[in-house]
Amino acid sequence: MSLKSYILNNKNWGKSRFTFDHLKSPVARIHFVAHENVLDERDNPGERPTNHWTLFFTISDNLSVHVDAVPNEPGRPGMIIPESENSAFAADAIHVASTNVPSGLTVEDLLGIIVDRRRDHYTFAPIGEGCRYWLSVISKDFIEAGVICEQESDAVIEALGMYWPSPSGSLSVPRPMARGTFHA
């Protein structure tokens, strides 16, 4: 089954804002993006605030594929949402960890790694967190697939372990990473 057919026929994928023609587009860079938490909101009382993190596969200065893993009801698999964006990465980015990619690698190649390793079968932690852990695993998958180097992955994982407060330029602080569960 082609990746396009898999995504179209899989309830764990939201695809209404994804242009499937972008599957064949070469990726210039990968950006792991922390989105600004302007009000320092917490997912749960007593927890420290955190940022929501997503992936951007940059195709050009004004085009990317944004990949967002979002929770579902507690105990149910989350959803992977690829969206075609008219920017390199999010306007609300407060921190970006960027990696180089081998020449010729496409959006389809990168999404294929996620599918081949069943990373689209993921249940967030009961508190509704887990995007940072999901991305840390994706980062390691990209090392194994020869997409990024270990040093870049280490920098990504270090950044994922921090809370990046608003306003931009504030000192980051360590934030434990809630772990979700991958399913076969």
Residue-level pLDDT, tens digit, the chain, 184 residues: 899 999 999 999 999 999 999 999 999 999 999 999 988 777 667 778 999 999 999 999 999 999 999 999 988 999 999 999 999 888 899 999 999 999 999 999 999 999 999 999 999 999 889 999 999 999 999 999 999 999 999 999 999 999 999 988 899 999 999 999 999 8
The pLDDT value given to residue 106: 99
4: which residues sit within 8 A by CB, 6+ positions away? 20, 23
The pLDDT value given to residue 48: 84
DSSP bridge partners of 83 = 66
Burial tier of 62 (Cβ tally within 10 Å: 0-12, 13-18, 19+): exposed
In contact, 78 and 67? CB cutoff 8 Å? no
User: What one-letter code names the amino acid at 183?
Assistant: H
Both structure tokens of 163: 């809370």
In contact, 49 and 37? CB cutoff 8 Å? yes
The pLDDT value given to residue 65: 98
The percent of the chain in helix, strand and coil, each rounded to the nearest 5, is: 25, 25, 50
The dihedral over CA atoms of 113, 117, 118, 123, expressed in degrees to the nearest 10, equals -100
Both structure tokens of 88: 């390199």
CA dist., res. 94 & res. 37, Å (int): 8
Q: CA quadruple 37, 38, 44, 49: dihedral positive or negative? A: positive
pTM metric for this prediction: 0.95
